[in-house]
Structure 1
Amino acid sequence: MFLRLLFIALGVSSDAFAVSISKGLSVDRLRARHHWLVGLWFGGFQTLLPLLGYFAASMLQDSLAAVDHWIIFGILSAIGVNMIREGVYGEEEGANGEESFSWRQMLPAAIATSIDSFGVGAGLALLGINIWLSALVIGLVTAAASILGLRIGYAVGSRWRKPARITGGIILIVMGIQILLDHLMNA
């Protein structure tokens, strides 16, 4: 049972991991504060959304499922296009990328990467699984994956910042398209 929960947590943390890589690409100097921010924002939302999904169960799941792929596609594509623009034109996001960690940037990214967790929480309600343990595991795994992604992005970005930003932007756009197509094909 715990192994299944761990795989679910790894699956839903993959979006936060990818976005954290892009955050790592945006900074010239990685600080401890950046680790805390990605861990708390992404891990926190990945803890909160399964709880909300569990308690809302199927009441909101159907209406959210109709648009979640469009929301995720739009946010990931916007972040990706911005990264490509910065990579091509060499624009920085403020003094050494600090704007990338502002609440205005982190809140939409945390919501976009956590929407699937809402559905997971609703599914866990139908299975009768302990939601408190599940939400905690999902949140902790996501926080760890986000910090790892941040460090990977920073390591790659410090050496190959421009090509890495362009590649990261393309990856985020492709992820958004893949999520959109998966939902449209399965609808």
Structure 2
Amino acid sequence: MTPTSIAVLSLSMSADAFAAAVGRGAAHRPSLFGAMRTGLVFGAIEAVTPLLGWSLGLAASGFVAAVDHWIAFGLLGLVGLRMAFDGSRRLSAAPSDRQPAVRRGLLPLLATAVGTSIDAAAVGVSLALLQADILAIAAAIGLATFAMASLGMMVGRAVGARLGNVAEIAGGLGLVALGSAILLDHTGMLG
């Protein structure tokens, strides 16, 4: 993968964490330290889950080598469309329904971080099929998620949850675009 593709992937994967962090920030109004602590939890979990998915994908790669680009396209496309759909659904909802209730404490934070990183495991599967440098990509995803979740907490503190939904839509569309580019590149349609 090119550095540009890694950057798009990292920012796209961090969009749902950003959206969740905006909601948490709006509800909890954290200090900068609190925002960075939340960002660290989101970033660490988001960096680990593609490694888990990559391990599973690597085990299956010999069986699916002929269709790996279709699998990557399908996984990235489905994850991206789900993110865009969820963000747009909340964006068009009544103001009181735009963001789920946010609870305080470590357990709800971990549950939210794991929930927003499940899609990174699916992306990890597709990266194994593409024989990508998973350590560099996982580190980039983790760093981007740390930064975006920390920023999301502070943005949520300042402006509320609406911006998080727009970011989730943009991140989802970024994943769809990346999956499409992989498909076009591997089928020779890109050049």
Normalising by the smaller structure, the TM-score range is 0.5 to 0.7
C-alpha separation in 2, matches of 1:161 and 1:50: 35
Change (3 A) 1:57 1:7: farther
C-alpha separation in 1, matches of 2:23 and 2:134: 29
C-alpha separation in 1, matches of 2:9 and 2:164: 23
Q: How many Å apart are 1:26 and its aligned residue?
A: 1.0
C-alpha separation in 2, matches of 1:79 and 1:102: 20
RMSD between aligned alpha carbons?
Answer: 3.7
Q: 1:27 is paired with a residue of what secondary structure? A: helix
The corresponding residue for 1:53 is: 57
Q: How many residues align?
A: 173
Change (3 A) 1:57 1:40: same
Q: 2:24 is paired with a residue of what secondary structure? A: coil
The gaps in structure 1 that reach 5 residues or longer are 126-133
C-alpha separation in 1, matches of 2:86 and 2:146: 19
AA aligned to 2:141 is: T
C-alpha separation in 1, matches of 2:64 and 2:89: 32
Change (3 A) 1:109 1:136: same
The gaps in structure 2 that reach 5 residues or longer are none
AA aligned to 2:157 is: S
AA aligned to 2:15 is: A
- Tell me which of 89, 94, 116 is aligned to 2:95: 89
The corresponding residue for 2:21 is: 24
Q: Structure 1 length as normaliser, TM-score?
A: 0.67
The corresponding residue for 2:151 is: 152
**Any conservation in 2 of the 1:23–1:100 contact (CA below 8 Å)?**
no
C-alpha separation in 2, matches of 1:6 and 1:174: 19
**Any conservation in 2 of the 1:50–1:119 contact (CA below 8 Å)?**
yes
The corresponding residue for 2:139 is: 140
| More off after superposition, 134-143 vs 92-101 | 92-101
C-alpha separation in 2, matches of 1:178 and 1:97: 35
**Any conservation in 1 of the 2:47–2:141 contact (CA below 8 Å)?**
yes
Q: Structure 2 length as normaliser, TM-score?
A: 0.66
